[in-house]
Chains A and B, each alone.
Chain A
Amino acid sequence: MAADNIVIKQEVTDAMNLEERILEMCKEETKGVADVYIKQQLPHIDAQQRVKAINRLLSLGKIDLVKQGSELLYRLKDPSSISKVKGVDNQERLVYQIIEEAGNKGIWIRDIRLRSNLLLTQLNKILKTLESRNLIKAVKSVGASKRKVYMLFNLEPDRSVTGGAWYSDQDFESEFVEVLNQQCYKFLQQKADLAADSKLDPILRRNQSYGSSEDVWKFIRELGISKVELAVEDIETILNTLIYDGKVEMTVSLRAGSTSSGTPGQVKLYRAIRPLTEPAGIMRVPCGVCPVFNQCYDGGTISPSTCIYMKEWMDY
């Protein structure tokens, strides 16, 4: 397969699994687990992914980093931290805990009701109270037809809720994506053209045609077409769509020096490519694009001799 060796950005689901595994380890070892331990338990996970998962858990407030002697341990955060908040009754504490457990993905009001067994009016009141005290917040989710989900106030909503950079107010900005897609391609295409015209040796010429995701990111930033701050990762997502468009190929190169994205020394390089073949011959015949192809047969109402597509095409 042409693209087997393309490394695609880690799937979201994988990342979630990883976080859950780490959380479970923390739950088992109430005193906390060391980084070395996590590493041993998850030998196939590379350092970059592990660090990323731990950082997320830390930022979500699900785990704490505690010092035990000379060792640093990750420990499950005390779920009853709400109790420290003054003036919160039991029902409010229950709702708070349910919302806290949902993390930065948030939880839908109906699920809170289901789990708390509170009446809707009661629950609404509690939610309002917690909201007004800036303990929780409501976020519109892009996923399930824009319904509201609740999460702790200080949490950054998960991408599955906000939809990431490609969502504005929970609406998918497909035009924005397409503009970025085109601009990224233009950048790589120009690079490839320049390289092709150069008098360099073949390998140098190819290397000249590569652009790293960071190069592309810089180019896009300088264009100033994005109102929101885009991360290199966002650009890589766009570059991936170009791979799926068959216009770009990606290769991972080991290079000295570190970059802000990816493992130090590992750079994702992209370059514009042409399709391997001309369009298939079958697509040069009306039958290739015919919407009623399967209904067509000699002697039928739709047939080669009655075909208007064929007629138009021949007269053209």
Chain B
Amino acid sequence: MAGRGRGRGRGGAMAFTAEVLGLGRGDVLPPTTSQPPPLFPPLEFRPVPLPTGDEWDYLLLLKQEFRNTMRDSPYYIKPQDKKKDIERYSDKYRMSNNSDNTIGWTPDWNRLPKELKIRVKKQGETAARSAVKAVPNLQAAKQISQKDVEVVTQRLAELEQKETEAASGDEKQEDEDEEEIDEEEYYDEEDQEEGTDYIVSYFDNGEDDVNDDDDGLDDGPIY
């Protein structure tokens, strides 16, 4: 940071200018007592209060929403080998599994240098939908998917061990959940059947083929 190492230079300037300014010894300069000054000296002036009002509240809301949206978006690339214990809980609720061997969105390769093309192989049924330039729906991404409901209910069961009745109730509910939840979300039945808008593409580069990349380059993308 800029603060580092500057102190010395400034100190030097101080010694020179103190005289120039006509300061007597110890006149203004911090008194040279044997006691070290406190790390955080008391504030002489307080910060001005933050502004209030609808405009600022709304801006704050927009900011927080934008940040959360981006964090859950396919543009947010996470390392592949992220350890479980530092995984965000919300990760489970992400539509895109955008760790580094997958890509959660399809760049417009036409606009990018050839060398950026990533060899990707689509997974499962989504491969059939050779969509062009799909733009992920970030709002939808935030919604809870079916799989998540299972996780949730499972978690619920764990957390609510004491409640004996609940266990069977949940199980029964689980089946209903699969159909019901989406009525609340953007995804209607039709989409649900077809899968999601996301093209969840997995890289074909396995775990240790960092060196393969050079060869893979000329192959171009595989859709």
Contact A278 B51 (CB under 8 A): yes
Q: Separation in Å of the A276 CB from the closest CB of chain B?
A: 16
Contact B48 A279 (CB under 8 A): yes
> Any chain B CB within 8 A of the CB of A219?
no
Contact B40 A289 (CB under 8 A): no
Q: A282-296: which have CB < 8 Å to B?
A: 283-286, 288-296
User: When A284-B48, A285-B47 are in contact, do A294 and B3 touch as well, CB less than 8 Å?
Assistant: yes
Contact B43 A292 (CB under 8 A): no
How many B residues, CB 8 Å from partner?
19
Nearest B residue to A307, CB-CB: B40
User: When A302-B39, A309-B40 are in contact, do A294 and B6 touch as well, CB less than 8 Å?
Assistant: yes
Q: A92-112: which have CB < 8 Å to B?
A: none
How long is the Cα–Cα vector from A280 to B2 in the complex, in angstroms?
Answer: 22
Contact B4 A297 (CB under 8 A): yes
How long is the Cα–Cα vector from A296 to B4 in the complex, in angstroms?
Answer: 8
Q: Separation in Å of the B49 CB from the closest CB of chain A?
A: 7
How long is the Cα–Cα vector from A300 to B7 in the complex, in angstroms?
Answer: 14
> Any chain B CB within 8 A of the CB of A200?
no
Nearest B residue to A302, CB-CB: B39
User: When A301-B39, A307-B40 are in contact, do A294 and B7 touch as well, CB less than 8 Å?
Assistant: yes
Q: Which of B2, B39, B48, B50 has the most CB of A within 10 A?
A: B48
In addition to A278-B51, A289-B43, A298-B1, 9 A-B residue pairs with Cβ atoms within 8 Å of each other are: A283-B48, A289-B46, A292-B39, A296-B1, A300-B1, A300-B3, A301-B39, A309-B40, A309-B43
> 30 interchain pairs (CB within 8 A)?
A278-B51, A279-B48, A283-B47, A284-B47, A284-B50, A284-B51, A288-B48, A289-B45, A289-B46, A289-B47, A291-B44, A292-B39, A292-B41, A293-B3, A294-B2, A294-B3, A294-B6, A295-B3, A296-B3, A297-B3, A297-B4, A300-B3, A301-B39, A302-B39, A302-B40, A307-B40, A308-B40, A309-B40, A309-B43, A313-B47
